[in-house]
């Protein structure tokens, strides 16, 4: 039993004891409080104009519980019921079925007695919230025993194994929102009346209230001041509280049910939504029928009565509700005709990720008020969205959120920024799926962060060896050894996606061009109307720039006839360039280069320069065969590979000194200074590890290296800038010396 109930019991017992033990003088001294009366049922019977509510209570079989336990009742008078029955084509309670009576009555009752203060400041997390608490009055949704009547539904699209089946659907219990002046204040409203009436057109707010009374509405019904105490709203009885309301609270549809009942207006949105439907949580009813709970995958679960909540299933989220800005059929159809249906023959062929963004952008996981909307709106993806009160045609409050009829389709940043074309052009759907599965779309959709995206068509990607498998919803890679398609390794998929993105604006691909870093950390060459990474360079298959599409918000989408390809590592370069074969063999002999390493997934041979894993970026200054010959003649390296430990270590140090770790240095004039190589040694204290350095001076096409021996080694531009994954290799005609 919670604290408010205990206090109520204590108060009632104390009042009873005083009545039993007080003397005659005391009884004459105090007037009987005007609110002190009988039970809630007796109070309603005495008032005389609540007969319909009492008949509804009896038909719903709630009279006995309410007469013996403590409840809070929200009670419309007989006239309100007459108006309600007329609106639904019925004459009286007798025209309702037992199930209909239960559904209707339970929307007007709460377990446990609650004063206005207790209604507003909900008991949650083992404590009563208060005006100064973190959540104050924000816990405004109240769980009732009411549920929707189970209904049948035909599975239309998802899951495939159930398409065509007729299922019996049940829902959870309804959570009725209590809107108070305190809630509007704590939620940041500047116009409670306007905000409430926008959600409940035709209802009333504070009608007949005295100037100092604060508004309170139970869903669509206004709470009427207590006739005996006009300055209060609550009516206290010996069995709880009564709140008189100005109208009947009708059966409350969820947003899901509301759309189903209004297909003439929202049928197109609802039809697209069914592609994300799921059916589970089965149970058997009293008639031994199997019933299913409907939900939605990825999309906000508009079929769930609980509303948005990350909490446990057993915890009612009294704070959260959805807001759905639903475009009517004609508005949504016009939008589709001017976007995706220009490229796709039907909605059925549109990528699921495109449909997801179209649907989800219209939804918010919080109540949206008109007065707050004037100050800006952020959609469910966190995008600042141009949505004004004038864009809303009408509102309707459901059991798990509010539906606003929107005069336009809201668009997410992913549609209006650089990647927007991918969502609607079927020729680029594979790249869209790649970016979506690697969570790269947000990177491309920040209006404040300029980007350049290199986009190759589905055909070009498949020719390279990447395709989307719609049946299994996976990105596949064609094995270079067996030619078979299999799911692409997550790491490789992420690398590939990041290779196609440059974080900056790059629009000029004419002339000699230059080098820029892409999101993977690799570098690409751009120029002569082409783009290329290491693999493109190695195969000679550069990506030709076909079209540059400028996006006014954040950059460029560059259409290329071949993707950026970076599956070309240091080890493969060393073993592939005949001009550095001597250095490569030295690395193999030193067991620093495993030329027989096979990828466990693709089974292809990918030579592995082992120490590369020690850092993110590398620059290799690779001696040519001619340089290696000179070094042997000068005794810098032995003619034969040494057999002693000291000799082997000197070879390792020699190799390591030719690799700069932690930085990619190109001969583009951008980086100069002292750089650490991978060759290490101990400081004089014998404990601290230091790395030998080289000095680099750099100007465009003119890079010079100064080693520890004071050698000046110029870099021939024609032998520079051989791009590899995680770095670059430059061929030098003189070996570097790490000693004086």
440 Cβ neighbours under 8 A, 6+ residues apart: 434, 497, 498, 501, 519
Query: What confidence tier does 318 reach under pLDDT thresholds 50, 70, 90?
Result: confident
Residues 611 and 700 in one domain: yes
Range of lowest pLDDT (16-25, 266-275, 425-434, 611-620): 16-25
Residues 545 and 591 in one domain: no
Mean of pLDDT values over 137-157: 93
Residues 273 and 405 in one domain: yes
Instruction: Judge contact between 244 and 235, C-beta under 8 A.
Output: yes
pLDDT at 602 over 90: no
Among the candidates 413, 435, 459, a domain finishes at 413
Residues 637 and 588 in one domain: yes
Helix, strand, or coil (residue 253): coil
Instruction: Judge contact between 226 and 235, C-beta under 8 A.
Output: yes
pLDDT at 86 over 60: yes
Residues 554 and 682 in one domain: no
Residues 401 and 420 in one domain: no
Among the candidates 517, 538, 560, a domain finishes at 560
Residues 265 and 336 in one domain: yes
Mean of pLDDT values over 109-132: 86
Which pLDDT value is given to residue 281? 87
Please indicate, yes or no, if residue 326 is contained in any of the structural domains.
Answer: yes
Which residues constitute the domain of residue 522?
415-560
Please indicate, yes or no, if residue 1 is contained in any of the structural domains.
Answer: yes
Which pLDDT value is given to residue 663? 97
Please indicate, yes or no, if residue 670 is contained in any of the structural domains.
Answer: yes
Residue 374 CA from chain centroid, whole number: 25
Among the candidates 195, 213, 245, a domain finishes at 245
Residues 402 and 421 in one domain: no
- What is this structure's pTM? 0.87
Which pLDDT value is given to residue 320? 86
pLDDT tens sequence across 365-411: 999 999 999 899 999 999 999 999 999 999 999 999 999 999 999 99
Residues 106 and 214 in one domain: yes
**Overall domain count for the chain:** 5
Strands 384-385 and 392-397, bridge-based pairing: unpaired
- Output the domain CATH number for residue 297: 2.30.180.10
Instruction: Judge contact between 322 and 296, C-beta under 8 A.
Output: no
CA–CA distance, 336 with 66 (Å, rounded to integer): 54
Peptide bond into 632 cis (omega under 30): no
CA atoms within 13 A on the CB side of 401: 30
Please indicate, yes or no, if residue 547 is contained in any of the structural domains.
Answer: yes
The b-or-e profile of 697-725 (16+ CB within 10 A means b, else e) is ebeeeebebbbbeeeebebeeebbbbbbb
pLDDT at 33 over 70: no
Please indicate, yes or no, if residue 159 is contained in any of the structural domains.
Answer: no
Q: Which pair of structure tokens corresponds to residue 137?
A: 């009055």
Residues 402 and 481 in one domain: no
Which pLDDT value is given to residue 25? 43
Residues 267 and 361 in one domain: yes
Query: What confidence tier does 720 reach under pLDDT thresholds 50, 70, 90?
Result: very high
Percent of the chain with pLDDT over 90: 84
Please indicate, yes or no, if residue 164 is contained in any of the structural domains.
Answer: no
Please indicate, yes or no, if residue 166 is contained in any of the structural domains.
Answer: no
CA–CA distance, 730 with 580 (Å, rounded to integer): 10
pLDDT at 647 over 80: yes
Residues 339 and 408 in one domain: yes
């Amino acid at each position: 039993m919670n604290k408010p109930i205990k206090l109520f019991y204590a108060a009632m017992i104390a009042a009873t004891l005083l009545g039993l033990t007080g003397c005659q003088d005391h009884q004459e001294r105090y007037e009987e409080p005007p609110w002190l009366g009988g039970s809630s049922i007796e109070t309603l019977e005495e008032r005389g104009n609540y007969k319909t509510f009492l008949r509804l209570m009896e038909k719903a079989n709630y009279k006995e519980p309410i007469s013996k336990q403590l409840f809070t009742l929200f009670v419309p008078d007989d006239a309100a019921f007459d108006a309600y029955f007329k609106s639904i084509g019925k004459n009286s309670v007798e025209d309702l079925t037992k199930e209909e009576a239960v559904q209707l009555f339970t929307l007007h009752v709460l377990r446990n007695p609650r004063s206005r203060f207790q209604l507003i400041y909900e008991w949650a997390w083992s404590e009563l919230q208060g005006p100064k608490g973190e959540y104050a009055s924000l816990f405004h949704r109240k769980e009732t025993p009411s549920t929707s009547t189970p209904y049948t539904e035909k599975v239309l699209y998802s899951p495939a194994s159930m398409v065509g089946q007729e299922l019996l659907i049940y829902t959870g219990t309804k959570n009725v929102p209590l809107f108070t002046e305190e809630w509007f204040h704590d939620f940041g409203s500047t116009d409670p009346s306007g905000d409430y009436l926008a959600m409940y057109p035709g209802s009333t707010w504070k009608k007949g209230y005295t100037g100092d009374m604060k508004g309170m509405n139970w869903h669509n019904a206004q709470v009427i001041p207590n006739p005996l105490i006009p300055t209060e709203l609550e009516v206290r009885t010996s069995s709880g509280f009564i709140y008189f309301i100005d109208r009947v609270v009708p059966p409350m549809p969820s947003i899901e049910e509301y759309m189903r009942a209004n297909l003439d207006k929202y049928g197109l949105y609802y039809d697209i939504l069914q592609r994300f439907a799921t059916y589970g949580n089965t149970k058997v009813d009293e008639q031994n029928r199997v019933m299913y709970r409907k939900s939605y995958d990825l999309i906000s679960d508009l079929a769930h009565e609980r509303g948005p909540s990350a909490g446990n299933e057993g915890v009612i989220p009294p704070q959260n509700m959805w807001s759905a800005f639903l475009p009517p059929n004609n508005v949504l159809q016009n939008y589709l005709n001017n976007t995706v249906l220009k490229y796709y023959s039907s909605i059925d062929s549109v990528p699921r990720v495109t449909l997801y963004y179209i649907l989800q952008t219209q939804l918010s996981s919080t109540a949206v008020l008109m007065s707050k909307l004037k100050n800006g709106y952020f959609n469910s993806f966190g995008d600042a969205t141009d949505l004004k009160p004038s864009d809303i045609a009408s509102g309707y409050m459901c059991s798990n959120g509010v539906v606003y009829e929107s005069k336009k389709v809201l668009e997410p940043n992913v549609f209006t920024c650089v990647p927007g074309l991918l969502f609607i052009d079927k020729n680029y759907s594979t790249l869209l799926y790649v970016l979506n599965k690697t969570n790269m779309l947000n990177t491309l959709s920040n209006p404040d962060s300029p980007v350049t995206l290199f986009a190759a068509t589905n055909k070009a990607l498949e020719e390279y060896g990447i395709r989307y498998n719609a049946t299994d919803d996976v990105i596949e890679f064609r094995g270079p050894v067996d030619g078979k398609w299999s799911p692409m390794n997550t790491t490789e998929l992420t690398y590939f996606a990041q290779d196609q993105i440059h974080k900056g604006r790059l629009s000029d691909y004419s002339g000699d061009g230059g080098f820029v870093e892409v999101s993977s950390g690799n570098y690409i060459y751009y120029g002569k109307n082409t783009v290329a990474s290491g693999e493109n360079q190695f195969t000679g298959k550069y990506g030709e720039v076909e079209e540059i599409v400028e996006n006014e918000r954040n950059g460029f989408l560059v259409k290329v006839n071949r993707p950026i390809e970076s599956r070309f590592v240091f080890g493969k370069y060393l073993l592939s360039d005949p001009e550095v074969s001597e250095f490569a063999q030295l690395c193999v002999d030193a067991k620093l280069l495993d030329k027989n390493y096979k990828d466990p997934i693709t089974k292809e041979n990918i030579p592995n320069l082992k120490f590369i894993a020690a850092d993110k970026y590398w620059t290799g200054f690779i001696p040519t065969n001619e340089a290696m010959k000179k070094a042997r003649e000068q005794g810098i390296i032995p003619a034969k590979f040494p057999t002693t430990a000291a000799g082997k270590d000197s070879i390792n140090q020699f190799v390591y000194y030719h690799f700069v770790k932690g930085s990619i240095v190109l001969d583009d004039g951008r980086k100069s200074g002292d750089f650490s190589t991978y060759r290490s040694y101990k400081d004089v204290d014998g404990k601290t590890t230091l790395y030998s350095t080289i000095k680099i001076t750099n100007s465009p096409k003119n890079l010079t290296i100064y080693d520890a021996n004071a050698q000046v080694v110029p870099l021939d531009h024609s032998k520079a800038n051989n791009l590899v994954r995680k770095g670059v290799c430059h061929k030098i005609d003189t070996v570097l010396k790490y000693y004086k």
